[in-house]
Structure 1
């Protein structure tokens, strides 16, 4: 089974359980896409992926008492949210 972070690390979530992870079918469509169709699909999938990271980081903050974990989760939220904004602007400009 494929796991986020690699099977050797023993990550806790199979890809299908991670919010924002592209399905095998979506990745196949991306591999087959070209030009503007590739760009649009790539941006759509990446926005979903980044939103998933924000969701996981937000969940990590819930009841968290570890300062380092909280700092990292807040950094993920800030950085991924900024990337989402950039990608949404790219999508709107096409």
Structure 2
């Protein structure tokens, strides 16, 4: 998943309805500020982006994974899957001799 149960629980706590996609990203199926967004869309999308980035950062995740990707009927923010960490990738490689 894009960040695990802790991240989706934190997003739920902020009023979002997160759903992990087959590709590993997290779609937010609603906008907690939809009434305000009708008249102030740009402001609310900016608020959503930075709120979700704050949730990511507070949970020890990369805040830049939250990106604007507006679509009708959903929040304007999507959380991209985490990038492979170089250390984690190296740790999974089999050791091939040497000291």
Please report the TM-score for the alignment, with normalisation by the length of structure 1.
0.35
Pick 1 or 2: higher relative contact order, CA cutoff 8 A, min separation 6: 2
* Structure with the largest fraction of helix: 1
